[in-house]
Amino acid sequence: MRDMKKNVYLAALFASALGAMACYTVALPAFLSDPARGAVAAGRFFSCLGLGGILALFIAKLAARLSGRFAVALYGAIMALGAGIAYASCVGTLNTSTLALAMFFLGTGQFAALGRVQARVVGEARPAKVVPYIFLTATATWISVQFLISAQTPTFFLATVGFSLFLAFLSLVGPGEPRAESGSETAPSDVGSASEAPRRSNFLAIFFGAPAFFLTIFVSSIFASNFFFSEWGKFSRDVFPESNPTALSVVLQIAEIATLATLTWLIAKVGGLKRAIVAALSVSAARYFLLGFAEPTSAFIAMLAHGVMYVGLQSVVPALYVDRCFTDESERKNAQTLLAVAAFAAPSAASGVVAETLERAATNADGAIAWSQVFWPAALVLGIVAVVFAIFGRTVAAETSADKADAA
């Protein structure tokens, strides 16, 4: 019963963190692409979001000594501040300069919170197979949000404020992170070593411990969610002119639910986490290849593959992969935090710029966009990364650290 209560709380905490992101990720590009506002490109604002996420890396480092409940509450407040400024920037005459600053603050709070919460979810959920269903609960929240939010007005930023403040509230009133017992984290010693010295926390453990994985997630994430969402507003108007872009995006979240619900079976089917990541990269490459045709049938099929891209490259599978790479609790938590920055924040600083650059190059004198020139380069990069990771990626142990702890 105690574990069930904890998992319910972790699910609510993570759902509120991701719910804040769901409120504006799809709605903002649709709002900006409206011809009445001059069809403003959304990529630059996603890049500002990513730049704020890079700052989140340092904020998380500075806040590492804070109690988890206070750190996440602080991040929630920063998110709410950024979303509030963004709302003010979009009401009436659009102020793009202020909106860019707001997205920077929003990214700082969002990615710092996401890193801390994701590390806690993966570290505390027992048994480890509960983790995908905590992510599933969060994704179900996304779907509910998408049904309720319209991109016609900037009220989606007010919903972001609500989720951010709810995250801060949950963090303050819920159970804090468990304290690690003093001296429990020790460095592995050689056979015959006289003693085991306390291990110093290594914030860059993931980079040195699994470099091929880190670089794979970093490069592929440049062409993952924010690259796609940077173009979603204009793409949906070209391919699905009669559909509401925000309502249509529910298909993306349904794809995530389906992937999460069958994740254990999918991982077993392909033969482990390394192969699951290679498969996610391959599916993502095929997805962008189909989007390049810019016609409804192929685009809809590509949208159904969104769940594999998100779950396989930016959420559950990478989180589980990291959990199986490290036995030291401090290194594992630091690696999860850096993973959130590597998979979401830092690539976002480049993805929007890359998306806009490709879009400008693919736009003719009449303003029509050749979508194959936007999406096929992304498909090529993801295909190459899949081959590289298949060759150099590390095969991790079959059990998670949570499994090993329970067994002990």
Token look-up 């192929």 returns: 298
Q: What is the residue-averaged pLDDT of the chain?
A: 83
What 3-state class would DSSP assign to 369? strand
pLDDT value for 250: 78
pLDDT confidence of residue 189: 33
What pLDDT, on the 0 to 100 scale, is given for residue 188?
34
| Contact indicator for 201, 332 with CB cutoff of 8 Å | no
- Looking at residue 272, its pLDDT comes to 92
Q: Are 148 and 74 in contact (CB under 8 A)?
A: no
| Predicted confidence (pLDDT) per residue in 280-297, tens digit | 999 999 999 999 999 999
List helix spans (H) across 125-224: 131-148, 155-173, 205-209, 211-222
| Beta bridge mates, 198 | 186
Task: Summarize pLDDT for 112-164 with one digit per residue, the tens.
Answer: 888 788 778 877 876 556 777 777 777 777 677 777 777 788 999 999 999 99
Kindly list the distances between the CA atom of residue 284 and the CA atoms of 54, 71, 92, 339, in Å, as whole numbers in the listed order.
25, 34, 38, 19
What's this model's pTM, rounded to 2 decimal places?
0.77
**Measured over all CA atoms, what is the biggest interatomic distance in the chain, rounded to whole angstroms?**
75
DSSP 341: I
Q: What is the pLDDT of residue 208?
A: 79
Residues 316, 122: Cα–Cα separation, whole Å? 9
Query: Taking a C-beta distance cutoff of 8 angstroms, is the pair 271, 311 a contact?
Result: no
Residue 391: both structure tokens together: 């060759």
Residue type at 258?
A
AA letter at 83? A
Question: What is the token pair recorded at 103?
Answer: 């997205």
Q: What is the pLDDT of residues 172-189, one digit of tens each?
A: 998 877 765 444 333 333
Residue 30 CA to residue 42 CA, distance in Å, equals 9
Cα gap 196→63, rounded to integer Å: 28
Please tell me the class of the 2-177+202-407 domain.
mainly alpha
Q: Mean pLDDT of residues grouped by 10 in the chain (408 residues)?
A: 78 87 86 85 89 82 79 94 96 93 93 83 70 75 74 90 95 79 37 37 69 91 88 91 79 84 90 95 97 95 92 87 81 75 76 92 91 97 97 79 50
Q: Where are the domains of the chain?
A: 2-177+202-407
Look at residue 36 in the predicted model and tell me its pLDDT.
Answer: 82
**pLDDT (0 to 100) of residue 357:** 93
